[in-house]
A and B are shown apart, each in its own frame.
Chain A
């Protein structure tokens, strides 16, 4: 009897944890599905989507360009000094472009977007929840998910691939700055290698990743903010915890998802 209990107790504990995680995953999935479906409910929230696209996309351009140019420059530096040992510095353009388009472009853009817009979304929804503004929407027969979350999801689905494309291009220019202007590689060879090595599948793969990241970012950040009141802490502290947690969870999930997608796309 005692032996049985000894075996059963940890198993039950593990089972409870697994069930709780599974339930949470289900809630995330339902939250995303509702947000996605409600984008297309009539009348289409065009004005709100444009507003959010401006906030999420347009206002992130400068910070993402800045990040991308320096990442490209660092890649140019490292790539040059590694390749020059093998006399292959000519392929620097290909190395920088493929690294950016396949991996760093989508991931870094997503991480930057989490920091700039994801945290803001979680905090905004959290404050709206604790000050009963979300309840007020419900009492007015306004679907809070349609009103607050769906436009953000649509805007991120539009913005993130475009921002990723921008980061890729700016990053390649960053590599050009160090590789060509600073270290003396021929500009023709640099761009010829970029052109010859990058296939359309690489670009599409990067876009596919950025679409998945958009879903992850919005679902996690908005879910955390929307359900701030279900956390252990209340009030301002509750909002701060849900915001921090949204940023951490979304960033980690982006990295995990990136690995899974890369392994699928290779």
Chain B
């Protein structure tokens, strides 16, 4: 593998005795998008601010293009950091300057360009980012999405080699969020810069990141490709990526989750962007009442254990939501109908009653699960698609887990 552009070597940082980074080792490669994921307040922004020299590590070193940033001072340090741009989480636009002045500031202060060259360059970036007639507006007059675009234009106006994005989509609606992701991916391809991104937008970031690193309790517990991440069988990574905390109590109540429609709409937006279908699968425990009648545990525990089993078999990008006392909805992105059938086949082979402990040794009927499938393409409506899936349950996928 090529030499990394940025290397963290055993970097530690503490604030008032609170150790935020505890021996970070991380490699960031040139020309790639590297996304850092991890829980909020876990030190991701702190990590990013070390790259651009806003924070100094207490221990360890940061090697950038062969230079130890922690030892570099004066002009060489400035010249090295000039190759970077930083897009702040809250945009950090200068509120007393107009949009044009904000974008022009980095190149104006750097010198070497005439006023008309600066104007042309700023206008080009504004055109690229659809910032047409707002050059005389002030940041307070702009919407959240517009501010992000202005911040991106300001970050890109110097033609940086490395752009650091600190949660660029925080507070945006799904459509604007997708727009910002598109902009980052598109410009990274067009301009070829190295991007380091902090984001919670899973699985969206997996589609355009070449590498993903997970920060957990001050350490990088995973760094690799998104594909490798999906194959990983690490409970901490899985729990975070699936947005799922395992219930600690024994009688965790399962409430049907109505938010699946929002997830469906997000998938729709993503599908329209990437022009690939996604599939919806409804798994229904058909004979839940019959099984419970034999005294085989309480319904919530049974469905929860079954849901846990299903979740463990899914890819990290898939989502699994309980939509009824005996029904689970699976949203499988980038999956067509035949691939969804394969997923169900895999589930049928992998699930077995022994792992759902409460119902493994009774005399009653086996747990029968049916699967209804629907491929979503074009303009799908959540309720209609769900109805379609339920109407097309295929007996072929009925399997017994006992």
Contact = CB atoms under 8 A, between A and B. Distances in A.
Contact of B52 (A128, A139, A147): A139
Contacts of A147: 109
B399 interface: no
Contact of A139 (B54, B94, B96, B111): B54
Interface in A121-140: 124, 127-128, 131-133, 135-136, 138-140
A138 to B, nearest CB: 6
A46 to B, nearest CB: 14
Contacts of B52: 138-139
Interface size class of A (residues with CB under 8 A): 10 to 19
Contact of A136 (B53, B84, B88): B88
Contacts of B49: 135
Given A139-B52, A139-B86, A141-B78, A131 B109 contact: no
B266 interface: no
Given A132-B90, A136-B88, A147-B109, A141 B95 contact: no
Nearest to A135: B54
A140 B92 contact: no
Contacts of A141: 78, 81-82, 106, 109-110
Nearest to A147: B109
A135 B49 CA distance: 10
Contacts of A124: 96
B343 interface: no
Contacts of A43: 111
A22 interface: no
A47 to B, nearest CB: 11
Nearest to A128: B94
A135 B81 contact: no
A140 B105 contact: yes
Interface in B6-55: 49, 52-54
A202 to B, nearest CB: 41
Contacts of B90: 131-132
A142 interface: yes
Residue among A43, A124, A133, A139 with the highest chain B CB neighbour number at 10 A: A139
Contact of A133 (B78, B84, B85, B94): B94
Interface in B282-318: none
Given A135-B54, A136-B86, A142 B92 contact: no
A40 B78 CA distance: 19
Interface in A75-134: 124, 127-128, 131-133
Interface of A: 43, 124, 127-128, 131-133, 135-136, 138-142, 147
30 contacts: A43-B111, A124-B96, A128-B94, A131-B90, A131-B92, A131-B95, A132-B88, A132-B90, A133-B92, A133-B93, A133-B95, A135-B88, A136-B86, A136-B88, A136-B92, A138-B52, A138-B53, A139-B52, A139-B81, A139-B85, A140-B85, A140-B106, A140-B109, A140-B158, A141-B82, A141-B106, A141-B109, A141-B110, A142-B105, A142-B109
Interface of B: 49, 52-54, 78, 81-82, 84-86, 88, 90, 92-96, 105-106, 109-111, 158
